[in-house]
Amino acid sequence: MKAFYFPEKIEIKNPTIIMGSFDAIHIGHLELIKKAQSLNEPIIMMMFEKPYELPNKSREMFEQLEVRLQKLSNMDIDYAMVVKVDSHLLTMLPEDFMKELKETYSPANIVCGKDFSFGRGGAGNPDLLAKVFGEVHVVDMKKIANKNISTSIIKEQIPFGEIDFANSLLVAPWTTNIKIGKESEFVLEEVQIKPHSGFYAVTAINNDVMYHGVVHVTRQGKNIIHLLNNSENLQNKDFSISWWRQLEITIKDQGDELRDEHLEVANRFFKNSL
């Protein structure tokens, strides 16, 4: 997959552009991708670099850009068009955005969800897109318990430790890229949404090698990773951490120490699930 920044000119003939912010890539987005694939043209998937800086979004990052790009690559998307959130974009009229999109990429098809909005004040919508691009393929939003599946619903789960439910709505487990420091501790980015204190079964990838482990989020907000069957020095190594399952949530006046049973439960989970 090739990633590029809007409005960089690239040579793609008659692409289908999937439009959205995609701060999380969830199962509702699969319907957009399936529709785009059915049109049998090269696919460009639009993605905001920092969607949490958009006016209508929460101010916390769900996943880093690099994580989202890797997930798209795993789904055989041809191109990712990354859009920077800056003063120019935020004041851009919908008509100007569409003009630049059309003149630069000449899309054969546009695919978006019913709730997609763009341009200054979110004034652009699928009806406006249709006036410029002709037929626009508007995909119904996927629901769960009569509610639209959305990034906001998924993001709400993380601070409560509901990793399992969040992952059930994502195309791949919630993932964070980190660097491990002293004593196997790592720090999440300041804008990164934070999980509840507790213990979580994770996979950790470094240089294409996958490890199984447990992350302990202490009540003081420290993140400590324990890799199963590993004795290597982890300090200063970069890892991609996928959070697979909540093992235990810790609250006030409850024990906050890693126990053998946490490692045993995680080990059984990975043996049975991966």
pLDDT for 252 equals: 80
Residues forming a β-bridge with 111: 18, 137
Query: The domain spanning residue 252 has which CATH number?
Result: 2.40.30.30
> Are 40 and 133 in a shared domain?
yes
CB 94 within 8 A of CB 123: yes
Chain segment 106-136, per-residue pLDDT in tens: 999 999 999 899 999 999 999 999 999 988 9
pLDDT for 94 equals: 96
Q: What is the mean pLDDT of the chain?
A: 95
For residue 249, the one-letter residue type is I
Could you give the strand order of the β-sheet that contains 223-227, starting from the edge strand earlier in sequence? 174-179, 238-249, 198-206, 209-217, 223-227, 185-186
> Are 138 and 181 in a shared domain?
no
> Are 33 and 70 in a shared domain?
yes
Chain segment 137-161, per-residue pLDDT in tens: 999 988 888 888 999 999 999 999 9
Evaluate if residue 91 carries a pLDDT over 90: yes
> Are 123 and 14 in a shared domain?
yes
User: Final residue of a domain: which of 98, 113, 148?
Assistant: 148
Task: Report the chain's C-alpha Rg in angstroms.
Answer: 20
Evaluate if residue 209 carries a pLDDT over 90: yes
**What is the distance between the alpha carbons of residues 132 and 134, in angstroms, rounded to a whole number?**
6
**What is the distance between the alpha carbons of residues 154 and 144, in angstroms, rounded to a whole number?**
12
In this prediction, residue 230 has a pLDDT band, given cuts at 50, 70 and 90, of confident
pLDDT for 141 equals: 86
> Are 136 and 225 in a shared domain?
no
> Are 205 and 105 in a shared domain?
no
pLDDT for 144 equals: 87
243 CB contacts (<8 Å, ≥6 apart)?
Answer: 163, 167, 173, 174, 175, 176, 195, 200, 201, 202, 215
Q: How many domains, in total, are found in the chain?
A: 2
Q: Is the dihedral of CA 258, 260, 264, 270 positive or negative?
A: positive
Chain segment 51-78, per-residue pLDDT in tens: 999 987 788 999 999 999 999 999 989 9
> Are 135 and 257 in a shared domain?
no
What is this structure's pTM?
A: 0.94
